[in-house]
Structure 1
Amino acid sequence: MTIYTFEENNLKPIKSTTFVEAEILERSHLQQAIKNNISVIAPDCLVIAEEYSDWDGSRKRIDLLAIDRSGNLVVIELKRTETGDHMELQALRYASMVSTMTLDLAADIYCKFKQINGDLTFDKENALLEISNFVDVELDESTFGDDVKIILVSPNFSKELTTSVMWLNERNIDIKCVRIQPYSYSDSILIDVQQIIPLPEAEDYQIKAQKKTEERREAKTISQKDYSKFLFNGEVLNKRNLAYEIVKARYQELNEKSYKNLYSDFSQYEHVDGLIIKYEEVLENKKDRYFYEDSKVLIMDNGDRYVVSNQWGKGNIYKLIEVANNFNYEIIDQSKSSVIRSYELDGYLIEQLEDTSILVSKNEEPIKAYPYLVKLGIEHGISATNKFGNKKNTRQLGKDILDKLLG
């Protein structure tokens, strides 16, 4: 974009320049000017820190850190180069680093910032008061920093950067790009400041469009969720509760209740180390990933307490069911409950379902399948063990019997 002077009914272009040519330094000049006039690039923001780097294991510094009227943190990243130099990736890292900042820490930071900038009597109480007066919400730890926003400031932005920013905006990450272009005019440097992403005149529309896209994405995710139900021990269960009931059933069958024995029984499950863990080893932020309620804790004979994972989906529940088959548990996937073949003999009905479950009933009353199948197998010369000498489970033995009886 070109800026012109209007002289004698004529438009005369003003020569653009660069901050390098104009000998304007990024930190000493540009950053100070923006810090002292923050409303130019970030209206309704209060700067609380400059060159912020109070985190462990990193020397990275946030150029400017601010708070908006809603109590959200705002990361402001500056570059005087012509392309932006991957500043969006840098800003995302910074945003993640400050995302856990508390109101108490923000007050400490703002207090130091004010003192460094000359207000030596400014204390933490003043900081909390100024921040509280600035925001438009009733501020406390629960309402502070719900979100982290990003503002990128540069003379120009590469196509790769703007594409990334627009994609992130579509996924509800709030990033703005503000272009600051210097011009040389007489003995002065003029600065043209423009928000280019999102365009101010289209910002409301884009926010509504992003919200609609997000709602559509969430609806699609919900529609793709798996709501499979399983019948086990007379109860219809979802995946997570089925997994718990399988582990609990085996726990109750143990003569000697110990973690070692329970672990051994489920050792064929590939993620057994995360299946059952000690109660005390569950971190505060992982409690929602286990059946942590007192009523569902498994207590071993030595008094140790263990909890069962509640993180189950299609990818792992069927693997656990395969292990449970070795205990001859009858688990029916109700989404695959159609009978694919059956055989009736002397009042007994053997049925194989779509999910390969085997059901046995006598005179239309369900009975325990495995003992009957073992007896029937002996009568028809079908072994209850496989070629390796291992005991077949209900599904394997039932399949072999049906294969022979049905020819």
Structure 2
Amino acid sequence: MSIYALEGKQLLAIKPTSFVIESIFERDDLQEAFKNNIDIIAPDCMVIAEEFSDWQGSRKRIDLLAIDKQANLVVIELKRTETGDHMELQALRYASMISTMTFDDAIEILQKYKQRNGYPNYSSNDAELEIRAFIENDIVETGFAEDVKTILVSQDFSAELTTSVIWLNERNLDITCMKIQPYNDNGKILIDVQQIIPLPEAEDYQIKVRRKLEEKRDIRKDSSRDYSKYRFNDMELGKGRLALEVFKYYFDQNRNQSIDMVMSEFNDITHSQPIIENLEVAQKHARDKGRARYFLNDDEILRAGNGSQYVVSSQWGKANIKELIELATDTLGYEIEKILTPDCPVKRKVSIEGYDIIQLEDLTVLVNENGTTVNAKPVLRKLCNKLNIELDSGSGNQKNTRSLGNEILNAIERS
């Protein structure tokens, strides 16, 4: 493509050139220009690092690292050459190397980037607030860095590279190629920036095609995002709040036990930090790191019989909340019901006496009456009496909702 200057009634071609001829360098010129004007090549993105190399065993560096509005990581690679050779392989290596980055990592990375770029007093709290203000979703609910996107920026791209990128995009990667062509207008350098892959005119169509191909991947990814709600002690709670209320209830019932005895009950639950922490230790951590990872409000504090105060972790995921629920229901005998939502996978379902008995994939049992979820245990106990199913276990304890529901389903399916 040519660029012309309209002078009078004449179109005068502006001379194309190259970054090499014009002594324009990748890092000192192009990288500096684009990091300060990132929307030109990466709309709706925020740079969090440059020359990023925070990994062991490699000296490779990402030119620019950014996040988008959906909290995805964006790798941006710049080349001033006319073919962009091997950029796709380089970017793939980088994308894989940062794919395990956490939200806490991103906070630390942005803090360092800001401090190196004129903000020496920029804190981790400043970084967390800036990221949270930038993205459109709640990181706690949707997760951080669910995907890694790649943007390749070069004066031109070889046929081999563009073919590779198109093939990779068809297989669920997200790679964009931006062509930057310099022109010399009587000593003034102009740069024409064009997106060539995917073509802007066909981008919406290609996204729809890609989404169709990604159906299985989306199902897997969505299953890792847990929006479940639970009913416990007449409260509807998300994962973190459910954990808090379970521990508060347990503490109230066992005030005279030592904290070591309390914690021994929950030793088998997988967690990346202490599930219960001393209040002062948790408060100090929040001050030092600029963010709290425990429930610290006054009405959330656990108060032991000896006056000691403790707090519960607010960091709960799909796996460890399942472990906690199983311990609370099977060992402690607590009643926790999962609230049915459209995305809950159903394992089996039967109808009896005007009720729908629903067992989810995680073995949670729900009872619906006229399409509305009702308190399950009284209904299940009534149905057990009709079906001659024992209400108590062999040890004499009352069976929980899961056990009652499972036996009812088995009895109905056998009949």
Q: Which residue of the partner structure matches residue 138 of structure 2?
A: 138
- Contact 1:103/1:140 (CA < 8 Å) preserved in 2? no
Distance 1:61 1:41 in 2: 19
Q: Cα distance, 1:135 vs. partner?
A: 0.3
Could you tell me how far apart the structure 2 residues matched to 1:69 and 1:193 are? 22
Cα distance in 2, alignment partners of residues 67 and 217 from structure 1: 21
Task: Name the % identity.
Answer: 65
8 Å Cα contact 2:50-2:62 kept in structure 1 = yes
Matching of residues 312-351 of structure 1 within 5 Å: none
TM superposition shift of 1:140:
3.1
Distance 1:89 1:12 in 2: 40
User: Hey, what does 1:159 align to over in structure 2?
Assistant: 159
Letter in 2 for 1:204: D
User: Hey, what does 1:281 align to over in structure 2?
Assistant: none
Deviation, structure 1 residue 214? 4.4
2:56 matched residue in structure 1? 56
Structure 1 residue runs without a partner (length 5+):
219-283, 289-407
Indicate conservation of the 8 Å contact 2:172/2:213, yes or no.
Answer: no
Q: Which amino acid aligns with 2:125?
A: E
AA partner of residue 178 (structure 1): M
| Aligned counterparts of 1:100 and 1:217: Cα–Cα separation in 2 | 18
Secondary structure of the equivalent of 1:82? coil
Which residue does 1:35 correspond to in 2? 35
User: What's the CA shift for 1:113?
Assistant: 0.1
2:211 is matched with which residue? Answer: 211
Secondary structure of the equivalent of 1:64? strand
TM-score by length of 1: 0.52
Q: Matched residue pairs, number?
A: 221
Tell me, what secondary structure is at the counterpart of 2:139? Answer: coil
Contact 1:2 1:14 in 2 (8 A): yes
Give yes or no for the alignment of 1:202 onto 2:202: yes
Is 1:183–1:189's contact at 8 Å kept on the other side of the alignment? Answer: yes
Give the whole-Å Cα distance in 2 for the aligned partners of 1:49 and 1:25: 19
Is structure 2 residue 80 aligned with structure 1 residue 80?
A: yes
d(CA) in 2 for partners of 1:216, 1:114: 39
8 Å CA contact 1:102, 1:141 repeated in 2: no
Equivalent position SS for 1:194: strand
**In 2, Cα distance between equivalents of 1:50 and 1:26:** 12
Where do 1:5-404 residues align within 5 Å? 5-140=5-140, 143-215=143-215
Conserved 8 A contact 2:86-2:161 = yes
Q: Does 1:4 align with 2:1?
A: no
Give per-residue Cα distances to partners, 1:236-278, cap 9 Å, x unaligned.
xxxxxxxxxxxxxxxxxxxxxxxxxxxxxxxxxxxxxxxxxxx
- Give the aligned partner of residue 233 of structure 1: none
Contact residue 78 and residue 154 of structure 1 kept, 8 A: yes
Residue equivalent to 2:343: none
Counterpart of 1:47, as a letter, is V
Residue 40 (structure 1) shift: 0.6
Query: Structure 2 length normalisation: TM-score?
Result: 0.51
> Equivalent residue of 1:29, what SS?
helix
1:41 & 1:217 partners in 2: Cα distance?
27
Matched-pair contact (CA < 8 Å) for 1:103–1:141:
no
Cα separation, partners in 2 of 1:217 and 1:89, compared to 1, 3 Å = same
User: SS where residue 74 of structure 2 aligns?
Assistant: strand
Kept in 2, the 8 Å contact 1:38–1:45? The answer is yes
Aligned equivalents of 1:110, 1:216: Cα separation in 2: 33
- Deviation, 1:34, is 0.5
Contact kept, 8 Å, 2:182 with 2:192, in 1: the verdict is yes
Measured in 2, the distance between the counterparts of 1:59 and 1:76 equals 17
- Aligned-pair distance for 1:187? 2.3
CA distance in 2, matches of 1:200, 1:59: 35
C-alpha displacement at 1:210, in angstroms? 2.1
Change in CA separation of 1:87 and 1:205 when aligned onto 2, cut-off 3 Å: same
Task: Judge conservation of contact 2:75–2:148 (CA < 8 Å) in 1.
Answer: yes
Deviation at 1:217, TM superposition (A): 11
How much has 1:141 moved relative to structure 2?
8.3
Residue 73 to residue 191, structure 1, CA distance change in 2 (3 Å): same
Deviation at 1:212, TM superposition (A): 2.9
Q: Distance in 2 between matches of 1:32 and 1:74?
A: 17
Deviations 1:102-122 (A, max 9, x none): 000100000000000010110
Structure whose alpha-carbon radius of gyration is higher: 1
Q: Which runs of 5+ in 2 are unaligned?
A: 219-271, 273-318, 320-415
SS in 1 for 2:140: coil
CA distance in 1, matches of 2:215, 2:133: 34
Residue type of the alignment partner of 1:98:
I
Deviations 1:28-57 (A, max 9, x none): 111100011100100100000000001010
Instruction: Report how far residue 142 of structure 1 moved.
Output: 5.5
Deviations 1:213-242 (A, max 9, x none): 445999xxxxxxxxxxxxxxxxxxxxxxxx
Distance 1:173 1:185, change over 3 A: same
Cα distance, 1:201 vs structure 2: 1.7
1:217/1:145 Cα in 2 relative to 1: closer, same or farther (>3 Å)? Answer: closer
Q: Is the 1:45–1:66 Cα contact (8 Å) retained in structure 2?
A: yes
User: Aligned equivalents of 1:215 and 1:128: distance in 2?
Assistant: 32
**Distance in 2 of aligned mates of 1:6 and 1:49:** 41
Give the Å deviation of 1:9: 1.8
Q: Higher mean Cα deviation, 33-42 or 135-144?
A: 135-144
